[in-house]
Amino acid sequence: MTAAYWGVNGDRRRGAQVEVTTTKKTAERRKDLALITIKTIIESRPFVVRAVIDAKTEKRLDVDEAVKTKILDQKRRIYVNSITKEELTLADALDSGLLEVEFEKELNNGNGSVTRSLSDLYSFYR
C-alpha cells in the first residue's frame, strides 16, 4: 500500500510503504482450581472362617475340605483361586464373596471392630 505522509519539517513525501497490522484480543484465560478431599474409613473386624467357596466349581466347602484341596492356607492366611492359582489375603477373599465367616465380638469398639480414618487432599489445575 502506498500512501502520502507529512515529514518532520512539514513537507509532503510520497512513496512510503505503510504496513498495517491488526491485533485481535482472544478470550481471557483463567486457571480453575479444584480441591478434593478423599476420606477413607477402614474398619477391620476379627473373623473366623466357617466355609470357603471353590472358584472352579462354585461349591461351598467346609474349612477342612478347603485345606485338603489347598484352596485355603490357614498358616499364611491365604485363599488360593483354584482356576487362576492367584493368592488372595483372607480379607480380599472375603470382599470377593469367596469366604463365609463369623465375626468375633470382642474388644475395641464394643463390636469387635477397629476403625481408622485416612484423609488425602488433592488439587487439580485446568
The domain segmentation of the chain, as residue ranges, is 42-125
The pTM of this model reads 0.52
Kindly state the cell numbers that stand for 15. Answer: 512513496
31-90 pLDDT tens trace: 777 888 888 877 677 888 999 999 999 999 999 999 999 999 989 999 999 999 999 999
Q: Which pLDDT score, from 0 to 100, does residue 108 have?
A: 44
Closest CA to 38 of 117, 124, 121: 121
Q: Which of 16, 61, 76 is nearest to 4 (CA)?
A: 16
d(CA 22, CA 11): 29
pLDDT at 62: 94
Kind of pairing between the strands at 99-103 and 47-53: antiparallel
Beta carbons within 8 Å of 16's beta carbon, 6+ residues apart? 2, 3, 4, 5
